[in-house]
């Protein structure tokens, strides 16, 4: 029940992000979520695509350095405190959240968060035990 | 079994070599005195006449020549033969200023090519070999020198010149090149291309002769591993002939100087005093066989050490260590001497690619040095923490090597221009 995320290396210079989105656009890659972590010199572009394998291939073919990482997509009820409640469960288990970002739009009244955590298997287990849904590829309309 | 191209010279006893050098030096000083007014004037200013030079022990009495002299005397001021006896010129790249032009008689070309032939034979070359010369042809001495040497050895010579990597790889595979001659940075680039195209099983290379650039021991091992060859260093400068002034043997512990043609000295670049054997200092050459362009005590700006330790290859020619760098390449950053080769060594040791660029600048009256390194799939990770940790380690390793802080900047792959000739490793914005 993990989702494949593609992370690409982007040097900080004008137009570099555009070059990468051009590649994705020309190859009809449909994005479900996108996030950028930045440093002074470069950024890491993280994407969840409808077709991750294709996204990875077209980027690599274009000479973009990228890597695939399994992440979990957590269904959070879309109300105040929803996210907070979910994070409490992880904190209680001493699971670190390395980074987190959200998926575009709502699906069935739920907001989906992409999480990369210190212990993926344990995170999934405790979240499910606490009644929080983990989305599979099908739930998110990706393959 | 070690093979030699000219065993009597390469393995001569020290006494024989000194006797030959004495004789040739005396003749050469006379030749220069009679034919080069520019140098004669320098000698007169120093109060030296040819009679004062009886052998190599008197060499220190002669005035030095520097690149500035060559520029000042451009184009004919140091020519020692009538132009009708000259058959060739070669020239430096001119990257550090006005070009320098060197002249050759046919005899000069022949001797130069023999020096290159010694290098090829020392790298295991025979007439059975196919020698791919991917140094630039033209004014640059790399191509013509190794081309001539390859002919003398009797190799099938592929006069590729530099660049056009597709064609290089096609000939390398189709014609089964066994020896590759080019700059180390181009060798690295070719190795990368061979790897990318899955051609490793289709190449027959056994040796490479790489020079004209500073390169580290780590880069040598990297090229050797990638191409499955033994990589030999070669040294030379246009001013004295070109590649082949010195060359490496199978021991790979320094380059044998062709002492029957060039007398080497090591001097202190500040006091200009000759230093005792084994000291590190600036290399100075006196060419004792050149007819058209004979330079006496030419300061190379290269910092190195000479060694007369017995070599397992059997050659008795003195060995010079790979230069620490040319003082032209040497950067002074925050008062500290920095050679690009030191930075390269640190990068390779830490698993980074050898393709890098150094940017030196002055910000708020203080020097800054920045090393641009290309990101590779091997180094890359989804974790910002891991990448910054690696960067920190690299900065620490550079600090340990250089003694000063150098900023590291990770850049996109292939964003640093690949070199097909001499690599542009340093951008010094302080000069712009």
pLDDT in tens, B181-238: 998 888 988 998 999 999 999 999 999 999 987 788 888 999 999 999 999 999 999 9
pLDDT tens digit sequence for B105-146: 999 999 999 999 999 999 999 999 999 999 989 999 999 999
* Inter-residue contact B240 to B234 (CB < 8 Å): no
CATH class, domain A3-69, is alpha beta
Strands (E), A1-143: 3-11, 31-38, 42-49, 66-77, 97-107, 110-117, 134-135
- B409 interaction partners in chain A (CB closer than 8 Å): 41
* Inter-residue contact B172 to B196 (CB < 8 Å): no
pLDDT value at residue A2 = 82
Q: Give the closest residue to B212 by CA, choosing from B183, B248, B189, B187.
A: B183
pLDDT tens digit sequence for A96-134: 999 999 987 777 778 889 999 999 999 999 999 998 888
Partner residue opposite B380 with nearest CB, options A11, A65, A116: A65
pLDDT value at residue A133 = 86
Q: Give the closest residue to B141 by CA, choosing from B162, B164, B156, B166.
A: B162
DSSP code at position B140: S
- SS3 labels along B164-221: CHHHHHHHHHHCCCCEEEECHHHHHHHHHHHHHCCCHHHCCCCEEEEECCCCCHHHHH
pLDDT value at residue B147 = 98
Interchain proximity B382–A11, CB inside 8 Å? no
Range(s) within chain A of domains with CATH label 3.30.2130.10? 3-69, 70-140
Q: Torsion angle of alpha carbons B183, B79, B259, B93, nearest 10°? A: -10
Partner residue opposite A9 with nearest CB, options B380, B383, B409: B380
pLDDT tens digit sequence for B237-267: 999 999 999 999 999 999 999 999 999 999 9
Min Cα–Cα distance to chain B from A96, Å: 13
* Inter-residue contact B330 to B337 (CB < 8 Å): yes
| CA–CA dist B20, B268 (Å, integer) | 26
Partner residue opposite B382 with nearest CB, options A7, A11, A42: A7
DSSP code at position B5: S
pLDDT band per the 50, 70, 90 thresholds, residue A82 = confident
| CA–CA dist B46, B65 (Å, integer) | 13
Hey, what are B360's tokens? Answer: 């030196």
Interchain proximity A39–B380, CB inside 8 Å? no
Consecutive 10-residue runs of chain B (432 residues): their mean pLDDT? 94 97 98 97 97 97 94 93 97 67 97 98 98 93 97 98 92 98 90 93 97 83 95 95 96 97 94 93 96 97 93 97 74 80 86 88 87 91 92 93 90 79 76 58
Partner residue opposite B409 with nearest CB, options A10, A41, A67: A41
pLDDT value at residue B419 = 63
- A44 interaction partners in chain B (CB closer than 8 Å): 382, 384, 387
Hey, what are B426's tokens? Answer: 């340093």
Hey, what are B387's tokens? Answer: 């990448």
Q: Give the closest residue to B119 by CA, choosing from B266, B14, B246, B230.
A: B246
| CA–CA dist A23, B417 (Å, integer) | 22
CATH number of A70-140: 3.30.2130.10
Helix (H) or strand (E) holding B23: helix B14-35
| Helix segments in B36-164, DSSP class H | 37-45, 67-72, 106-122, 142-153
CA–CA distance from A94 to each of A74, A76, A126, B350 (Å)?
A: 17, 20, 11, 34
- B385 interaction partners in chain A (CB closer than 8 Å): 98
Q: Please, what are the domains in chain B?
A: 1-326 (3.40.50.12780), 331-431 (3.30.300.30)
Mean pLDDT of A35-58: 93
pLDDT value at residue B96 = 53
Interchain proximity A67–B382, CB inside 8 Å? yes
pLDDT for residue A93 is more than 60:
yes
| CA–CA dist B372, B169 (Å, integer) | 28
Min Cα–Cα distance to chain B from A79, Å: 30
Interchain proximity A44–B382, CB inside 8 Å? yes
**CB proximity B415 to A under 8 Å:** yes
**CB proximity B126 to A under 8 Å:** no
- B375 interaction partners in chain A (CB closer than 8 Å): 9, 11, 42, 65
| Helix segments in chain A, DSSP class H | 16-26, 52-61, 82-92, 120-129
Q: Give the closest residue to B137 by CA, choosing from B111, B167, B158, B112.
A: B158
Interchain proximity A11–B415, CB inside 8 Å? yes
* Inter-residue contact B292 to B86 (CB < 8 Å): yes
Average pLDDT along chain A: 90
- Asked if the bond preceding B323 is cis, omega within 30° of 0, the reply is no
User: Which residues have CB under 8 Å from B155's CB, separation 6+?
Assistant: B120, B125, B126, B127, B129, B130, B131, B179
* Inter-residue contact B326 to B214 (CB < 8 Å): yes
* Inter-residue contact B421 to B140 (CB < 8 Å): yes
Interchain proximity B376–A65, CB inside 8 Å? yes
Interchain proximity A65–B412, CB inside 8 Å? yes
Partner residue opposite A44 with nearest CB, options B384, B413, B414: B384
Interchain proximity A42–B375, CB inside 8 Å? yes
Partner residue opposite A11 with nearest CB, options B380, B385, B411: B411
Interface ipTM above 0.90 = no
| CA–CA dist A27, A16 (Å, integer) | 17
Interchain proximity A46–B382, CB inside 8 Å? yes
Q: Give the closest residue to B284 by CA, choosing from B90, B41, B65, B58.
A: B65
């Amino acid at each position: 029940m993990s989702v494949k995320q593609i992370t690409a290396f982007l040097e900080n210079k004008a137009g570099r992000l555009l070059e990468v989105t051009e590649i994705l656009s020309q190859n009809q890659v449909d994005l479900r979520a996108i996030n950028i972590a930045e440093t002074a010199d470069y950024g890491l572009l993280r994407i969840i695509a409808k077709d991750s394998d294709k996204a990875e291939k077209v980027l690599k073919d274009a000479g973009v350095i990228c890597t695939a990482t399994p992440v979990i997509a957590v269904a959070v009820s879309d109300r105040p405190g929803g996210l907070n409640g979910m994070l409490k469960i992880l904190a209680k288990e001493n699971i670190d959240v390395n980074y987190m970002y959200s998926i575009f739009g709502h699906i069935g009244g739920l907001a989906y968060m992409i999480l990369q955590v210190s212990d993926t298997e344990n995170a999934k287990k405790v979240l499910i035990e606490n009644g929080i849904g983990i989305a599979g590829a099908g739930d998110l309309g990706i393959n | 079994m070690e093979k030699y191209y000219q065993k009597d010279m390469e393995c001569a006893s020290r006494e024989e070599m000194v006797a030959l050098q004495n004789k040739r030096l005396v003749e050469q000083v006379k030749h220069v005195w009679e034919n080069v007014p520019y140098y004669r004037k320098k000698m007169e200013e120093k109060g030296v006449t040819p009679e004062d030079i009886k052998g190599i022990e008197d060499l220190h009495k002669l005035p030095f020549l520097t690149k500035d002299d060559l520029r000042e005397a451009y184009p004919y001021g140091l020519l020692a033969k009538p132009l009708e006896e000259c058959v060739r010129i070669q020239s430096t790249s001119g990257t550090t200023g006005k070009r320098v032009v060197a002249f050759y008689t046919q005899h000069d070309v022949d001797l130069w090519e023999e020096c290159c032939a010694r290098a090829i034979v020392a790298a295991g070359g025979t007439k059975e070999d196919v020698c791919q010369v991917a140094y630039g042809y033209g004014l640059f001495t790399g191509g013509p020198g190794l081309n001539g040497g390859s002919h003398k050895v009797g190799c099938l010579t592929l006069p590729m010149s530099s660049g056009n990597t597709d064609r290089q790889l096609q000939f390398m595979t189709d014609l089964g090149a066994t020896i590759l001659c080019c700059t180390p940075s181009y060798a690295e680039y070719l190795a990368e291309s061979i790897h990318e195209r899955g051609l490793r099983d289709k190449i027959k290379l056994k040796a490479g002769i790489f020079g004209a650039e500073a390169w580290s021991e780590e880069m040598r091992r990297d090229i050797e591993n990638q191409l499955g060859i033994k990589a030999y260093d070669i040294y030379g400068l246009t001013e004295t002939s070109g590649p082949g002034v010195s060359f490496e043997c199978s021991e790979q512990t320094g380059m044998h100087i062709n002492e029957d043609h060039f007398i080497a000295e090591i001097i202190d670049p500040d006091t200009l005093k000759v230093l005792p054997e084994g000291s590190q200092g600036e290399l100075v050459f006196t060419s004792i066989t050149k007819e058209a362009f004979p330079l006496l005590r030419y300061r190379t700006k290269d910092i190195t050490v000479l060694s007369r330790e017995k070599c397992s290859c059997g050659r008795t020619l003195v060995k010079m260590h790979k230069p620490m760098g040319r003082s032209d390449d040497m950067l002074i950053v925050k008062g500290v001497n920095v050679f690009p080769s030191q930075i390269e060594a640190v990068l390779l040791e830490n698993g980074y690619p050898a393709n890098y660029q150094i940017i030196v600048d002055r910000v708020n009256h203080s020097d800054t040095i920045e090393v641009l390194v290309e990101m590779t799939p091997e180094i890359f990770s989804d974790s910002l923490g891991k990448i910054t940790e690696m960067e920190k380690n690299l900065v620490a390793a550079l600090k340990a090597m250089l003694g000063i802080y150098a900023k590291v900047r990770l850049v996109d792959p292939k964003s640093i221009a690949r070199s097909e000739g001499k690599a542009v490793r340093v951008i010094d914005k302080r000069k712009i």
